[in-house]
Amino acid sequence: MNDLIRQKSQAMQAELVRLRRDIHRHAEVGWTEFRTAAVIAARLKELGYEVKMGEAAVKKADMLGVPAPDELSAHMERAVKQGADPALVKAMEGGLTGLVAELDSGKPGPLIALRFDIDANDINEASTAEHFPRKESFASVNPGAAHACGHDGHVAMGLGVASLLTEMKSELKGKIRLIFEPGEEGSRGARAMVGAGAVDGVDHILGVHIGFQATKTGQLICSTGKFLATTKLDVTYTGKPAHAGAAPQEGKNALLAAASASLNLHAIARHGQGATRITVGTLVAGEGRNVIPAHAVFKMETRGETSEIDEFMAGEARRIIEGSALTYGVDYHIEMVGGTKSGESSPATRDVLKKVAIEMGCFNDIRDYIGFGATEDFSHLMTVVQENGGLGTYFMLGANLSAGHHNDKFDFDESVLSTGVELIVKTVVTLQAE
Amino acid sequence: MNDLIRQKSQAMQAELVRLRRDIHRHAEVGWTEFRTAAVIAARLKELGYEVKMGEAAVKKADMLGVPAPDELSAHMERAVKQGADPALVKAMEGGLTGLVAELDSGKPGPLIALRFDIDANDINEASTAEHFPRKESFASVNPGAAHACGHDGHVAMGLGVASLLTEMKSELKGKIRLIFEPGEEGSRGARAMVGAGAVDGVDHILGVHIGFQATKTGQLICSTGKFLATTKLDVTYTGKPAHAGAAPQEGKNALLAAASASLNLHAIARHGQGATRITVGTLVAGEGRNVIPAHAVFKMETRGETSEIDEFMAGEARRIIEGSALTYGVDYHIEMVGGTKSGESSPATRDVLKKVAIEMGCFNDIRDYIGFGATEDFSHLMTVVQENGGLGTYFMLGANLSAGHHNDKFDFDESVLSTGVELIVKTVVTLQAE
Amino acid sequence: MNDLIRQKSQAMQAELVRLRRDIHRHAEVGWTEFRTAAVIAARLKELGYEVKMGEAAVKKADMLGVPAPDELSAHMERAVKQGADPALVKAMEGGLTGLVAELDSGKPGPLIALRFDIDANDINEASTAEHFPRKESFASVNPGAAHACGHDGHVAMGLGVASLLTEMKSELKGKIRLIFEPGEEGSRGARAMVGAGAVDGVDHILGVHIGFQATKTGQLICSTGKFLATTKLDVTYTGKPAHAGAAPQEGKNALLAAASASLNLHAIARHGQGATRITVGTLVAGEGRNVIPAHAVFKMETRGETSEIDEFMAGEARRIIEGSALTYGVDYHIEMVGGTKSGESSPATRDVLKKVAIEMGCFNDIRDYIGFGATEDFSHLMTVVQENGGLGTYFMLGANLSAGHHNDKFDFDESVLSTGVELIVKTVVTLQAE
Amino acid sequence: MNDLIRQKSQAMQAELVRLRRDIHRHAEVGWTEFRTAAVIAARLKELGYEVKMGEAAVKKADMLGVPAPDELSAHMERAVKQGADPALVKAMEGGLTGLVAELDSGKPGPLIALRFDIDANDINEASTAEHFPRKESFASVNPGAAHACGHDGHVAMGLGVASLLTEMKSELKGKIRLIFEPGEEGSRGARAMVGAGAVDGVDHILGVHIGFQATKTGQLICSTGKFLATTKLDVTYTGKPAHAGAAPQEGKNALLAAASASLNLHAIARHGQGATRITVGTLVAGEGRNVIPAHAVFKMETRGETSEIDEFMAGEARRIIEGSALTYGVDYHIEMVGGTKSGESSPATRDVLKKVAIEMGCFNDIRDYIGFGATEDFSHLMTVVQENGGLGTYFMLGANLSAGHHNDKFDFDESVLSTGVELIVKTVVTLQAE
């Protein structure tokens, strides 16, 4: 069977490239992936998958950092204009762009989840002539959206895996669940998909990233840990304006509330159990030089080496925000716009993946583990799976890169797409056999 | 009758000096004037006055800045040891050292209140040989208490006036109420005496200060205004200690709460309607270099050009103190330890006093008015009288001084005592006649 | 002569209205009054005045709050397009839009200065149908610029006075200097004109405002005082960005520097000698949620009851801004963008104006004085005149208004224009006669 | 030879107990160990050691946290009164209470340093009847000083080792240097002894602690790491007092400078390379409620997972302290009162010690390593030795305890003293043989 999987994987390389470039060309940022998700859903249905969409895939109340309604509407229109099936787009109204598809082999066996993230970055793609997507005419046509993190490749691999699995259905055991996650950037999507049950009952979950910490084709990092937990908050203070010369005492100063909050937030105690971070990254306040400032908005985030530590940080932050509001007599509003749990891959799952990779013989640099020290929304899904008794790993699929992730000149070696499909499908099969 | 009043006033000069020196020698600070008040009460009773003491003169719930119970007990014991009538001292248990005495002429007429403050300053009296009270052996024998603000002279004048009025009873109309106020320093006594009804029904109230803003014998300032309202608060934050190295996150930092409160208090908005002041004067926090500070105490005050403005300041302060406590998750306790209203003397009362003073012929420099720009607890009494439809004035009786008020070398020319008695009694008689 | 002045004033009413509407229609904000000043200069030259322009009227180094060079260029082009003489516009390159014109009677006598401010407000004029300038088609055609403070009327009066004075030249003594000041809004122009000598040698200076504090035609306030001194600063902090997760210690946090500065600025001590104000009105900082903020900009102002008090405030502010920069290791830049001295009109000048006004017989409500409690750039000019031994007054010419000053629906009763010309000319004549 | 060492060690147990109790009874805190050091020096001289004292052992300029001169004098007097040799005490004038003694075998071989800390804690020893030192009458007779950290036992072991080594001199190679360190508490002594050359040329350094992290007799932890580097600073701000009501603008507010510094210190950025700590532990500011505070003092410390990280923290702290002083226009003074480097024991030295311990056969629980996560002044000495190419280890000698370290009821099982001597001497001999 191993030979067959390789053969079929390699055979689909051209199709994977086509898919990847189509997604790349129509890049869509978090919660606006209407066309991307419609393309995926259409293909999955074609393959015979039962596809959960809308509120069946995304819990509305748990969505973080959702754009404004008019922005969502504009993006829905654009998706249709760019060829998306209007009925599918309609089904995702409100930004419900996550998808869950399941293949049931009909035989007993584990439930294995595979997660692919689908959103683009909110940057403009490079317009230099030598940028490969420009040369090959698949650079993003959507302003302010570009696939600079390889999620376009993840989508292509996801559909490749979906296709290959249906062809092999009779050989499979248990069930395989494909999770297409929107809004990974900003740590926004996982939580709402967990809320809708995306990882319920999962025994193993696999996540992949192209080129992260493994920037050469042929490299493979089999597991990742030290994912930092994070909480991202947008804070608004609303006070009362007053003439700064005539009646300053009648104002409620939102700028000073935000200034005091910013200082006191950064003064949150260090944590004896592990690393923390706290950042107020932007602050905009006030209306005019001689008016007591009535409005202030700031964007902040906390991080923690564990979810518990991040919860400590976020809890302190919320109290400080409230306390500073009280200090200045202003109203406050906190919106959680992102957040994810910390995580560590399971050695058992990693060992299976590593064994498969060695057998494949095409990797020249295989490593067990990397401590990430940063944030990936996958850790949220994996940690929930582990909390429920399952296992998981997040692996880095090495690829030659033209520039670093999130850089407007980012591009990756497309040859790794079929390798990725092969590795995932073989790992699934091996996990089912254990 | 004018000649008689002068003659009698001058005749009591030696007795006034003896009284003043006795009070001076046994100086007692706010709410501990057990001996001082006992001496006054005994003399008033002797003169036939009905004397209200204890809770009849001082409303317990409205007392501000009262010393601790064991301190009060110690001072009660000392008062008895220094010759006070034990029964009278007992009647003032709890620091109820205010007295109200009334003389009813039996004839219709206005109720005129005279206020004399009786407390000493909490300083050590100068021990230099040339300091007059030392030379004449009436320097304070009580450590940490000295009459450096002339209240000893006020007591002497009060008893002189009390005596002279009883001798003239048949000539009087209406009623005269003598108010002996404890705890003027720190703006603590007036409020509690108002609470017990000390100024109920008063038509005119007079207050006198020796040597304030009028530092030469022969000067007289007939009225005072621009008394600043003030609120004095002691604030305690109680957090939770924790080892600063091992588990800083377990602490609740009272020092930082106080630091943040201090900054934000000073940042209270200026007031468009008049002058304000805000001061955190002292701050003590923390237990050790490597322990998250669990305790912080600070002493602060606000001031305002009007009572309304001071109320704005104190209201802002209270909210900031609470907000800073919330910011750091600590408990807070605010104790109001002093406070008085703003005030302006009534021109009508001033005019009567001025006319009397001119007629007396012994002042060489008579002024109408001074804007005080500071705080005197009398303004609280006067403002309540005015709010109820009465009138009042606060006058400065010039006297040669050896040093400024509150200085440990302060002393005043005792010859003004009988002049003061004469001026007060004549003003009372004139007011009654109007 | 009085009758003649009235007659000539009234005769020019139509021309005053035409002038005012032309200026109104082509509203230009501070330091961009290229067309406005070109129109004025052309007319003055036509009348025979020697006109000082460019650096002869405005000291470059003392200009406050000047727009960026490309903005100035764009406004110069617009001015020419809207009919200004290109040569005159060229002479004002760099925003040197102030003008000084002098009439020398050839006879001995005092030097009397008249100041007219010429700039518009940086708002969009109301577009409602009932707004009079709309109805009459003279609403501002320049976006972001509207005469909502009556300076268009001041310009018209200034040219009316200029015209009338030349007709009466033989009757005059001494000299008359006309000062057309740009950038009054934001307290920007006076300082640079003083720097260029605009008030050197002045014996009397008069300033007028239409409708300020006197909102009915027929009212007149003959003098104004309690002008607050003010200093307006734009502050920039430049730190160093760093990834908030990976290496926060490598950043230099400009946002926190600005937050700390804002708090500490508002905590500047109150002043025992008079009222103060301090406001950080706007603050913008940071680049992204997860980046240590490298830039912060805030706009602030101080005010003081006297120039000395404002200098105290501004001095404290500068030290705090520098100290906060040091605290966070960031660079700072302070730009003074506005500032004016406090001021009090001279009673002697007021008395002359008042006498003239009474004689005119057309005012039904004449008042001596108003305490302004706010800021007007005229006070800077007047105070310098007084410091050099001269006198001055600022008077409020009552006019029916459609809305308050600085409101986008502001408009005034044009009938007061000729009244204003008459009052000014008669006061000049009377002052010369003294 | 091993048997002989054991025999001799056990034979001196009674003497070790006597010594320990004598030192315990006359507990002396950092830089005042005049009697303790005099006893040690006398004994070492008696044994034939050349003893370096005074500036030969302690570099004056590098001493941290030295008590005031009059305090030192009082403790010198007390030491003599309690039996110390006056000449020896005199030699330590100024608090130079460190000692270095060397034994030269005359044969080639390594230089092995042994460090024993000698100071007591600044607490009062428990007075409860069941406290063993009370029962046995060797509780501290010096108020505010008690051996609650086992340094009395360290001194006894040091002298035991010194004695045993002289008896075995002919068997030894190389040199052995005994370092008796004052002021270990507060991280004060090591730096000044390094400054005087105490670890120059050292090949191996050993340090021991009784009962730390090994609270049962029979336990041994052979090496320690993750010593946090620390810097301890006392900060004084000196401003200018002013009357808070009359002239607040004349003050320079030291309390607000300290409040602002405290907040901004706690807001120092987290470090991406490892753990940090920052604590302002105590703050005392101000003179009275209504006086602008002219003085503020605070005690603070930083910590870092590495010396570099702590240097980052201390550098940031110094800049913030200076910046806050500038912000409030006050003077500042920073005194470094403690500080030590981070450290990690050398595995090679540990392995030797471990082998010796196993051979001894008397330990039932031997562990390789403990990560300390706190501060010990020994790490400073060890790190300097390692920077110069040497090696070292810090071991924890298990002992039954009556209470935790620094607790006023702390006491330890004296039976470990002779075990400690044996372990140290055997390790020295083994290290020399390698």
Question: What b/e sequence results for C391-416 when a residue is b if at least 16 CB atoms lie within 10 Å of its CB, and e otherwise?
Answer: bbbbbbbbbbbeeebebbbbbbbbeb
Give the closest residue to D119 by CA, choosing from D103, D136, D142, D135.
Answer: D142
Among A260, A262, A270, A324, which would you mutate to test the D interface (most chain D Cβ atoms within 10 Å of its Cβ)?
A270
Retrieve residue D30's tokens: 């950092």
Residues C282, A289: C-beta atoms closer than 8 Å: yes
List of residues 6+ apart from C12 with CB closer than 8 A: C160, C163, C164, C418, C421
Residues of D in contact with C331 (CB under 8 A): none
Q: Residues D45-65: what's their mean pLDDT?
A: 96
Exposure string for B219-248, b = 16+ CB within 10 A, e = fewer: bbbbbbbbbbbbbbbbbbbbbebbbbbeeb
**Cα first-last separation, chain B:** 16
What is the rounded average pLDDT of the residues A184-207?
A: 97
SS3 for chain C is CHHHHHHHHHHCHHHHHHHHHHHHHCCCECCCCHHHHHHHHHHHHHCCCEEECHHHCCCHHHCCCCCCHHHHHHHHHHHHHCCCCHHHHHHCCCCCCCEEEEEECCCCCCEEEEEEECCEECCCCCCCCCCHHHHCCCCCCCCCCECCCCHHHHHHHHHHHHHHHHHCHHHCCCEEEEEEECCCCCCCHHHHHHHCCCCCCCCEEEEEEECCCCCCCCEEECCEECECEEEEEEEEEECECCECCCCHHHCECHHHHHHHHHHHHHCCCCCCCCCEEEEEEEEEECCCCCECCCEEEEEEEEEECCHHHHHHHHHHHHHHHHHHHHHHCCEEEEEEEEEECCECCCHHHHHHHHHHHHHHCCCCEEECCEECCCCCCHHHHHHHHHHCCCEEEEEEECCCECCCCCCCCCCECCCHHHHHHHHHHHHHHHHHHC
Cross-chain Cβ contact D248/C264 below 8 Å = no
| pLDDT at residue A246 in the model | 84
Dihedral, B390, B391, B396, B397 alpha carbons, nearest 10 = -80
Report the helix count and the strand count for chain A, using DSSP H and E.
13, 14
In contact, A198 and A344? CB cutoff 8 Å? no
Banded model confidence at residue B374, pLDDT cuts 50, 70, 90: confident
Helix (H), strand (E), coil (C) string for D358-425: HHHCCCCEEECCEECCCCCCHHHHHHHHHHCCCEEEEEEECCCECCCCCCCCCCECCCHHHHHHHHHH
Classify burial at A69, counting beta carbons within 10 Å of its beta carbon; exposed 0-12, middle 13-18, buried 19 or more: exposed
Chain D residues in contact with B246 (beta carbon < 8 A) = 373-374
Single-letter code of the amino acid located at B64 = L
From chain A, pick out residues whose CB is under 8 angstroms from the CB of D281.
none
CA distances from D252 to B433, C307, C376 (A): 54, 21, 32
Which chain D residues have a beta carbon less than 8 Å from that of B258? 259, 283
pLDDT tens, residue by residue, A120-131: 999 999 999 999
Q: Is the pLDDT of residue B245 over 90?
A: no
Quote the DSSP letter at residue D217: T
Pairs of residues, one from chain B and one from chain D, whose beta carbons lie less than 8 Å apart: 129
Tell me how crowded residue B415 is: count the other CB atoms within 10 A of its CB: 13
**What is the band of C315 on the pLDDT scale with cuts at 50, 70, 90?**
very high
Quickly state the pLDDT bin for C80 (edges 50, 70, 90).
very high
The residues facing B146 across adjacent strands are B121
Q: What is the pLDDT of residues D399-419, one digit of tens each?
A: 999 998 889 999 999 999 999
3-state secondary structure of B314: helix
Q: Are A349 and A167 in contact (CB under 8 A)?
A: no
Measured between beta carbons, the chain A residues lying within 8 angstroms of C373 are 245-246
Q: Rounded to an integer, what distance in angstroms lies between the CA atom of residue D223 and that of residue D210? A: 13
Percent of chain B at pLDDT exceeding 90: 94
D117, D184 in Cβ contact below 8 A? yes
**Residue from A232, A270, A280 to probe the interface with C (highest C Cβ count within 10 Å):** A280
| Out of C248, C264, C329, closest to residue D327 by CB | C264
Q: Pick from B187, B129, B156, B117: which is nearest to B21 by CA?
A: B156
Shortest distance between the Cα of B63 and any Cα of chain D, in A, equals: 19
Mean pLDDT of the residues in chain B: 96
* pLDDT band per the 50, 70, 90 thresholds, residue B255: very high
* Cβ-defined contact of D290 to B301 (cutoff 8 Å): yes
How do residues C325-334 score in pLDDT, each as one tens digit? 999 999 999 9
The pLDDT mean for chain C works out to 96
CA-based nearest residue to C376, from C413, C342, C352: C342
* Residue for token pair 């300041």: B313
| CA–CA dist B162, B425 (Å, integer) | 9
Nearest chain A residue to D277 by CA distance is A270
- Give, rounded to a whole angstrom, the gap between the first and last alpha carbons of chain A: 16
Chain A residues whose beta carbon lies within 8 Å of the beta carbon of residue D267: 263, 266-267
Mean pLDDT of chain A: 96
| C22, C133 contact by CB (below 8 A) | no
Cα distance between residue A101 and residue A49, in whole Å: 6
* Cβ pairs bridging A and B (under 8 Å): 76
pLDDT band at A433, cuts 50/70/90? Answer: confident
Three-state DSSP at B319 gives helix
Which CA distances in Å does B116 have to A123, B53, B158? 78, 15, 6
> CA A168: distance to chain centroid?
29
Residues C299, A291: Cα–Cα separation, whole Å:
11
Q: What is the pLDDT of residue A329?
A: 98
Between CA A394 and CA D344 the distance in angstroms is: 34
What's the distance, CA B279 to chain centroid? Answer: 21
B244-248, C130-134, C283-287: least confidently modelled range:
B244-248
Q: Write the pLDDT tens digit of every residue in B297-307.
A: 999 999 999 99
Is residue D10 scored above 90 in pLDDT? yes
Instruction: Tell me how close the Cα of D370 comes to any Cα of chain C, in angstroms.
Output: 28
CA nearest neighbour of C16 among C170, C156, C194, C211: C156
Residue B276 and residue C270: Cβ atoms within 8 Å? yes
pLDDT in tens, A69-90: 999 999 999 999 999 999 999 9
On the 0-12 / 13-18 / 19+ scale of CB atoms within 10 A, B105 is middle
Asked whether C365 and C413 are in contact (CB, 8 A), the reply is no
Reported ipTM: the value is 0.87
Chains in contact with A via at least 3 Cβ–Cβ pairs below 8 Å: B, C, D
Domains and CATH numbers, chain A: 2-226+343-433 (3.40.630.10), 229-340 (3.30.70.360)
Nearest to A158 by CA among A142, A181, A138: A181
What's the confidence (pLDDT) of residue C373?
Answer: 82
pTM value is 0.90
b/e for A210-233, b at 16 or more Cβ within 10 A? Answer: bbbbbbebbbbbbbbbbbbbbbbb
Confidence (pLDDT) at B58: 98
Rounded CA gap, A123 and C48, in Å? Answer: 62
Place A112 in a pLDDT band, splitting at 50, 70 and 90: very high
Residues 6+ away with beta carbon under 8 Å from B81 = none
Query: Is the confidence at residue B373, as pLDDT, over 90?
Result: no
In chain D, the residue whose alpha carbon lies closest to the alpha carbon of C318 is D327
Per-residue pLDDT band at A118 (split at 50, 70, 90): very high
Quote the tokens at residue A96: 């419900």
Residue of A nearest to D374 (CA): A272
Please state, in angstroms and rounded to a whole number, the distance separating the CA atoms of residues D210 and D215. 8
> Average pLDDT for residues C81-104, to the nearest whole number?
97
Q: What is the pLDDT of residue B396?
A: 97
Q: How does DSSP classify residue D99?
A: E
By the 8 A CB rule, do C78 and C142 touch? yes
Distance CA A347, CA A344 (A): 9
pLDDT in tens, C361-418: 999 999 999 988 888 999 999 999 999 999 999 999 999 999 988 889 999 999 999 9
